[in-house]
């Protein structure tokens, strides 16, 4: 169960309205790596956590914090939209500054949301649940989380570069710091799990059931061998169980596929005799 306090976790006060920037800021609210994504991802991972209370508690801690981040950004966006001009094109043509605002705004911020934040990204695309993962394997999911915080911080930093508003930058400075912590946090949790479980997920699958001779080979499917100089092509493997090797000319070891004709009740194309399909009922 959850409780809400009125104050934000950190200030979210722009110096002045900027409806074009409001559109851009939507990316870290309702985008693929926005705060809604990490919020839902951590909460579902926590709720689905089976028998590891330390991790469940941690996931619900951070999932709950992320709701507060959604709240901060939504609040910021609503203020950036304060008094946005929605006049017609004629006025805009006379004042290039207004024209730039009108051309760059998300029209739904006015028409649909009445100058409020929306749960969409900066292209106006709605958030959807396929952005999240809760796999039931914590090491797998912590890698998803590290990725999310990595992409997320990168996007916040880029948005920091795209404004000079000190109030907006202040809030972003907070989020950038929290994302630094969260990258550190998932790296720590990953290290902890890798130590006991091994590096390859899932560690519980027996290696006997793998085609082991391709389990440590880098295959060169693209002309040129620049890829040969990478760490992935030489030295001991990262799981410490073998050595990487480089396959300069990978071979096709499978069959040349030939599918059976489909049954008549499927009304596919029948097998073709020389020069054209066989006689049909027509």
Phi/psi of residue 277, nearest 5 degrees: -65, 160
Name the residue nearer to its own copies (CB basis): 38 or 165.
165
Q: How far is the CB of 38 from its own copies (least distance, A)?
A: 13
195 labeled binding residue:
no
Task: Kindly tell me which residue out of 14, 159, 166, 248 binds its own copies, with binding defined by CB under 8 A.
Answer: 159
170 labeled binding residue:
no
Instruction: Enumerate long-range contacts of 272-278, CB under 8 Å, 24 or more apart.
Output: none
121 labeled binding residue:
no
What is the maximum span of the chain, computed from C-alpha positions, in angstroms? Answer: 78
SS3 of 224-271: the string is: CCHHHHCHHHCCECCCCCCECEEECCCCCCCCCCCCCCCCHHHCCCCC
Indicate whether 157 belongs to the interface with its own copies (CB under 8 A). yes
Indicate whether 166 belongs to the interface with its own copies (CB under 8 A). no
Q: How far is the CB of 13 from its own copies (least distance, A)?
A: 6
Indicate whether 248 belongs to the interface with its own copies (CB under 8 A). no
Q: How far is the CB of 201 from its own copies (least distance, A)?
A: 4
Indicate whether 243 belongs to the interface with its own copies (CB under 8 A). no
The residue to which tokens 């040129």 are assigned: 224
66 labeled binding residue:
yes
Do residues 55 and 31 lie in contact, with contact meaning Cβ atoms separated by under 8 Å?
A: no
Indicate whether 165 belongs to the interface with its own copies (CB under 8 A). yes
Q: Rounded distance, CA 89 to CA 152, Å?
A: 36
Indicate whether 180 belongs to the interface with its own copies (CB under 8 A). yes
182 labeled binding residue:
yes
**Binding to its own copies in span 27-46, by CB under 8 A:** 27, 30-33, 36, 40, 43-44
227 labeled binding residue:
no
Do residues 84 and 19 lie in contact, with contact meaning Cβ atoms separated by under 8 Å?
A: yes
Indicate whether 153 belongs to the interface with its own copies (CB under 8 A). yes
Name the residue nearer to its own copies (CB basis): 38 or 131.
131
Q: Which residues of 229-254 are buried (b: 16+ CB within 10 A; e: fewer)?
A: eeeebeeeeeeeeeebebeeeeeeee
35 labeled binding residue:
yes
Annotated binding site: 35, 57, 61, 66, 69, 149, 182, 220, 222, 224
Annotated binding site for Ca(2+): 57, 61, 220, 222, 224
């Amino acid at each position: 169960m959850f409780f809400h306090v009125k104050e934000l976790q950190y200030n979210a006060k722009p110096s002045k309205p900027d409806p074009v920037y409001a559109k851009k800021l939507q990316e870290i609210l309702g985008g693929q790596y926005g705060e809604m994504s990490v919020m839902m991802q951590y909460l579902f991972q926590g709720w689905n956590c089976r028998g590891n209370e330390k991790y469940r508690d941690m996931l619900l801690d951070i999932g709950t914090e992320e709701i507060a981040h959604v709240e901060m950004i939504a609040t910021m966006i609503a203020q950036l939209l304060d008094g946005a001009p929605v006049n017609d094109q004629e006025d805009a043509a006379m004042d290039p500054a207004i024209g730039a605002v009108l051309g760059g705004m998300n029209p739904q911020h006015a028409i649909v949301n009445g100058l409020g934040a929306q749960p969409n990204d900066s292209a106006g695309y709605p958030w959807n649940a396929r952005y999240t993962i809760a796999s039931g394997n914590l090491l797998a999911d912590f890698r998803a989380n590290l990725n999310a915080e990595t992409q997320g911080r990168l996007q916040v930093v880029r948005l920091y570069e795209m404004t000079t508003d000190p109030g907006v930058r202040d809030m972003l400075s907070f989020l950038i710091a929290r994302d630094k912590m969260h990258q550190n946090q998932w790296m720590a949790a990953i290290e902890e799990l890798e130590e006991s479980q091994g590096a390859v997920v899932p560690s519980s699958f027996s290696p006997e059931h793998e085609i082991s001779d391709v389990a440590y080979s880098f295959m060169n499917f693209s002309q040129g061998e620049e890829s040969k100089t990478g760490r992935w092509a030489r030295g001991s493997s990262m799981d410490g169980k073998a050595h990487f090797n480089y396959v300069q000319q990978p071979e096709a070891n499978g069959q040349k596929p030939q599918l059976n004709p489909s049954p008549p009740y499927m009304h596919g194309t029948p097998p073709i005799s020389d020069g054209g399909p066989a006689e049909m009922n027509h």
